[in-house]
Each structure stands twice: as structure tokens, then as C-alpha cells.
Amino acid sequence: MEPILLPLGISFFTFQQLSFVIDAYKGEVPFYRFLDYACFVTFFPQLIAGPIVTHDELIPQFLDEKRKAFRWDNFVRGMYLFALGLGKKVLVADTFGNGVNWGFSNIRELNSTNAFLVMLFYTIQIYFDFSGYCDMAVGLGKMMNLELPLNFNSPYRAVTITEFWDRWHMTLTRFFTKYIYIPLGGSRKGKARTCLNVMIVFLISGLWHGANWTFVLWGACHGVCSVINRLCKGALEKIPRALQWTATFVFLNVTWVLFRADSIKDAGIFLGRMLDFDFGRADSSLTAAFYLPECQLVDSLIPFTGICPEFFLIAFTAAALFLLFGMRNAHEKMQRFEPTLGRLLVTAVLLVWCICSFSGISTFLYFNF
């Protein structure tokens, strides 16, 4: 059977047009010219990986005459945000992706150390990949004086799964809430119905990501955890926040394995390798994924030899975790943005560095959905 080829990011622009059709059916769409609608559904920055925008967010901006004049302040902000997003994608996500690809291609050969590392690496990769694209989309929009909605707000800092989904892919959560959860009755028909509605939304979310049982199980796990959060909210709030965050972060890491694996069987084998407690050194193929040409140059300039193979793996991981938990996110940076020489240098360095790194094969993870 020949594989079915689908357009890149089909679900994103399909959801965007679904929201327009549903709102039009409900009489919530004012009269727009066909050209206005065409611009809305073909607006390229966020077309194939989000954020998912609605007609009332974007079309009025197209019609605003004040936004049709070039503005240096918006262009500078947009270019800075675009550079940050490009850096997230090319320098961070793609680097960790090399290790992830090796790990999930050699599941049966993994020891526990490699399995734990690959699991963490995918958690890092998927965030920087998707968040990076959205930053670039918002940055491009800002260059054109258009404001796109926030899609990520430091989701790995969430202390519960409910809070995680308030911070992760926020426009998708908004879409499911408005067009599925609320029409099903939302939380207005008692606890049992509310829990059922939550489960339906998460199962649909799993199917949205792909026609594979791994995605269905991933959605079911998040649905069950979200239901438990709702039913046991009072008891969970008594648990120290640090412990809540740890449990949530571990849960996210484990369920991302389901999300990434080709089959439930592969996911089970992968998690089994972690529980074997067969710890040892990281595989040379895994550490090699982080030995980039830039790292080779640094290594050659070190005045002594013998730098351990794991050094760059540890350095990249520590830097990524610091970016996730120790720095303000892009949205927070833009709220206090002022053009400075330092930000100009950061923008220039990131753009040149990323362009010079384009020689490798790279795809956005969410292009598949």
C-alpha cells in the first residue's frame, strides 16, 4: 500500500479554517472581502506550525491602515525574536535531535544511561523545535506590524499537568476548549461529565497528532492525569510545589517517549531499558551527536589534550536546561525589550551562526502534524 502524502502542517491551517467556518455558521463572523479571507488563510509565518490564529485576531489587523506603514521599532523587535527562534531550532533542537534520532533507531542496544539521556534530549528537542518555530512566526509577524498570539509560556516550569497545558501550545488548547470542550458541556454538567469531556478532548488531541496508537495512548495518559488533577486538586495542593513539579516533569518525559516512539512496543522496550538499571558510559554515537564542527574548533584551540568525549554533551545539556529554567522566555524578554548594542550583536551572531549551520538536513517536528 502506497503511503498517503499530505501537505506540510495540514492540521494547522485546517483548524484555522474550521474555526472560521464554525464561527460563520454561528453568525460570529462579520462581512469580509474574499481577499481578506484569502490573506487570513495564507498568511505564511504561522501557516504550517502555528500559532493557530482566529479571524478576529488577524483580519482586523490587515484592515488597520496604521499597520501598513513600515516601523523600525517593530522590525527590530521582530528580527531579534526571529533570531532567537532560529537559534532555538537550529542550534539547540537540531543538535539534540541528532542524539534522539540515534537513540530511537537503536532502542534494543540502549543501556539505562543512554535511555535516560535520550528521553531527556527529546523533551528538550520538542520544546525548542516547536517554540523556536513559533518565535520565528511571531517575529516575522511583528516585522510586518502584525501581532500573533503567544503559544508557549515556559511550560516545563508548570507544577501540574493542567498548568502545563495552560502553557504549552496555548492556541491549540484554546481551539479544543472553544470548539470541543465547551460544546460538550464543559464543566457545567457535573464532575462525571466534566471528566468525560476532558478525556474526549485529550483523545482527540492525541489523534490530531497522528493516526498511531502511540498518540492515542499519549493523549489518554494526559487525559487521565488531568482528570486526577481536577478530582484531587485540594489534596495535591498540600504537596510541596517542588515535589509536584518533579512529578510533573518526570511524567512529561515518560509520555514524550510514547509520543516519539514508532510503536507502543518500541516505547515499552525503551522504558524497559531505563528500568534495567544497566548504567554505564554514554555511547560514543550519542556523544558524537554533540561534537559539532564548532566544538571541534574549540577542542583544537584548547591548549591541552584529553578533553573527555562527554564534555560537549554535558555542556549542551546544561546550557539547554539553563535556558529552560534559568532565563526569561522570549515573551518575557519582548515585554521589556529595548534596542541595545548587545541585542544587535546577539541577533547578528545567531543569524550568521544558524545560516552557517544550514548544511545539515533539518525538519520541524510539527510539520508532521
List the Cα angle 241/156/285 in 5-degree steps. Answer: 125
Torsion, CA 58, CA 62, CA 66, CA 69, rounded to 10: 120
| Residue 209 known to be catalytic | yes
- DSSP secondary structure code for residue 146 in this structure: -
Contact 289, 95 (CB under 8 A): yes
Encoded amino acid at 367, one letter: F
- Kindly report the number of other CB atoms within 10 A of residue 352's CB atom: 11
Separation of alpha carbons 18 and 355, rounded Å: 36
Burial class (CB in 10 A: 0-12, 13-18, 19+), 150: middle
R_g of the chain, CA atoms, integer Å: 22
Cα gap 294→92, rounded to integer Å: 13
218 Cβ partners below 8 Å, 6+ apart? 206, 209, 255, 258, 259
Long-range contacts, 31-35 (Cβ 8 Å, 24+):
32/59
- Rounded to whole angstroms, the Cα distance separating 295 from 54 reads 43
Query: What would the grid cell of residue 143 be?
Result: 516585522
C-alpha 29, offset from chain centre: 30
- State the DSSP string of 223-287: HHHHHHHHHTHHHHHTS-HHHHHHHHHHHHHHHHHHHHSSSHHHHHHHHHHHHTT---PPPHHHH
Of the listed 55, 169, 209, 222, which one is catalytic? 209
Q: For residue 43, with 0-12 CB atoms within 10 Å meaning exposed, 13-18 middle and 19 or more buried, which class applies?
A: buried
Catalytic sites, residue numbers: 209
